[in-house]
Amino acid sequence: MFKSKTNMKLFPIYKMFSWDLLFYYAISFLFLTQVKNFSPAQVLSGDSFYILFKLLVLVICIPLIDKLGKKNCLIFGNILVALSVYIIIIANGFSHILISYFIMALGYQFKELCESSLLYSSIPTYEKKRNIFAKIDAKGSSLYYFTDGITSIIASFSYVVNPYLPMYLCIGCLLFSAFISFGFEDENTNTKPKNEDDEEYSTQTLKEYMQDIKDSFKFIFKSRRLRALLIFSVLIYSMFSISSTLRSSLFVDLGIPAQYFGIIAAIYQTIASISSRKQEWFHNRFRNTVLAFFSISMCLLFIFVGTISIIGGASCVIVVLILYLIHYIVKGPYYTLMDKYLNSFSTREISTKIYSAKSVVTSIFSTIILQIASLVMDNFTTAKSFIIIGFSFFGAFILVLQYMKTRVGLKPEEYKKSDIEYVKVK
């Protein structure tokens, strides 16, 4: 039996440094556009390819995890992500960025497929296992948010001194994460889950994963409710991704100094963290209209920010900064609530299949939407891009929300059986 207590103690520290890229996001747009001379449209296009790459590399990751074990794949994954950041540092063409994002996608798929599974299998099997898992995982998340806020501020000021410095600090954190991974104790990779509860966090074989995808799409094709939720999910995920790049591009256009980027990012992340804890309040306050509130708020944010930026004026920067709080107020509770809605009426068996389908659908269609948005950015100013994309999403969301009206948020007895009951379709 492997040493479960070691993994449980080590995991929050590991997650603090490894959950996402520290030192990076506060200055990544500046580094890519000012140091590497890529256009904002190319930055957004690169983001779209990264989303697609994460889907494609699954066929590599799943069988390798089965062969090498979770611990080794965590070490390998962190090293791969560190290598991808180094390739960005030495890149002198967009093709190098695509290579970097492919390696980063591979590294993060290893990490995401192994991290929760390794922690969950480390906790002894008894009644409160899921509660202990949530507590340990939440502790790691809390430590990460705190660390990310500090490193974002450090990154923005160090960027002014030397733009390469925060990139190397990012690599240092990733290599430290790989070093921490050596301390994990891995269970026998051939050991099957002992019960249904363990199965939720077990890694799948490639054959099992592909079968899940096949089964889930058959079910989703029949369920009008799930189809509606997945269409909405694709749209708002794409909007969040576009919003982050447009925001950074607009801040540059408005002349906000680089050293303030990290401070702004830290404030926004804090708002998102607070908002995420209020997800139950949003659900109770808006009920069946909460998704409409989130989506229309984001559309209005785009339209108002673009319009105010074109008008200009002394207070333009302050108004834009305040308006952009909407992005993080919405983003904080959205993911938790969407997972809750997708899980409604589902069993553990279908829950994993729904998430698999969501990953596939989001990767494919978000890639297309982000590529279209990059074309808009290539032909218009950032401010005009905000308005064009905002109105485009507004029209799309109106249609989707109308489609959802008779399919989502109904009472259980108002649904058709095919909408909420999973039956394996042959």
pLDDT band of 192, cuts 50, 70, 90: very low
pLDDT for 400: 93
Stronger pLDDT, 139 or 205, i.e. the higher one: 139
Q: CA distances (Å), 8 to each of 133, 142, 197, 321, in order? A: 9, 16, 18, 40
What are the Cα distances from residue 97, in Å, to 19, 43, 60, 136, 396? 22, 9, 20, 35, 31
Residue carrying the six token digits 């699954």: 58
What is the pLDDT of the chain when averaged over all its residues? Answer: 84
Predicted local confidence at residue 293, as pLDDT:
94
CA-to-CA distance for 65 and 59, rounded, in angstroms?
Answer: 11
**Is a pLDDT exceeding 60 seen at residue 413?**
no
Beta strand ranges found along 153-280 (DSSP E): none
- Separation CA 305–CA 247 (nearest Å): 9
Residue 398, SS3? helix
Average pLDDT over residues 308-336: 90
Whether 170 shows a pLDDT value over 80: the answer reads yes
When pLDDT is cut at 50, 70 and 90, the band that residue 409 belongs to is: low
* pLDDT in the model for residue 193: 47
- CA terminus-to-terminus distance, the chain: 40
Secondary structure (DSSP) of 177-197 = HHHHHTT--PPPTTPPPSSHH
- Output the pLDDT for position 284: 87
pLDDT at residue 426 in the model: 47
Q: Among 91, 94, 88, 90, which residue's Cα sits nearest to residue 38? A: 94
For residues 391-408, average pLDDT: 91
Per-residue pLDDT averaged across 409-420, rounded? 57
| Tokens (6 digits) for 107 | 């590294």
Q: Assess whether pLDDT exceeds 60 at residue 188.
A: no
**DSSP one-letter string for 298-309:** HHHHHHHHHHHH
Question: What is the C-alpha to C-alpha distance for residues 213 and 328, in angstroms, rounded to an integer?
Answer: 31
Give the model confidence (pLDDT) of 14-71 as tens digits.
989 998 899 999 899 999 999 999 999 999 999 999 999 988 888 888 788 878 888 8
Least confident of 79-93, 120-134, 194-208, 346-360: 194-208
At 64 the pLDDT is 85
Query: 397 near 302, Cβ under 8 Å?
Result: no
User: What is the reported pLDDT for 416?
Assistant: 61
pLDDT, greater one: 351 or 419: 351
Look up residue 35 and give its DSSP letter: I
Distance of CA 283 to the CA centre of its chain: 21
pLDDT at 294 over 80: yes
Contact 387, 307 (CB under 8 A): yes
- Rounded Cα distance between 245 and 132, Å, is 37
CA distances from 178 to 2, 81, 122, 184, 391 (A): 20, 10, 19, 10, 44
- Identify the residue whose tokens are 């363990």: 198
Q: Residue 125: helix, strand or coil by DSSP?
A: coil
**Is the predicted pLDDT of residue 414 greater than 60, yes or no?**
no
Give tens-digit pLDDT for 225-254.
Answer: 888 888 999 999 999 999 999 999 999 999
pLDDT at 274: 84
Least confident of 66-75, 274-283, 409-418: 409-418
Amino acid at 72: N
**Which of 186-195, 200-209, 357-366, 392-401 has the largest mean confidence?**
392-401
Q: Give the residue-averaged pLDDT of 339-361.
A: 68
Decide if 337 contacts 279 (C-beta within 8 A): yes
pLDDT at 98 over 70: yes
Amino acid at 8: M
Least confident segment among 67-76, 86-95, 378-387: 67-76
What's residue 213's pLDDT? Answer: 65
Q: How many other β-carbons are positioned within 10 Å of the β-carbon of residue 238? A: 24
* Long-range contacts of 399-404, Cβ-Cβ distance < 8 Å, separation of 24 or more: 400/228, 400/231, 400/232, 400/235, 400/295, 401/232, 401/291, 401/292, 401/295, 403/228, 403/231, 404/228, 404/229, 404/232, 404/291
DSSP state at residue 313: -
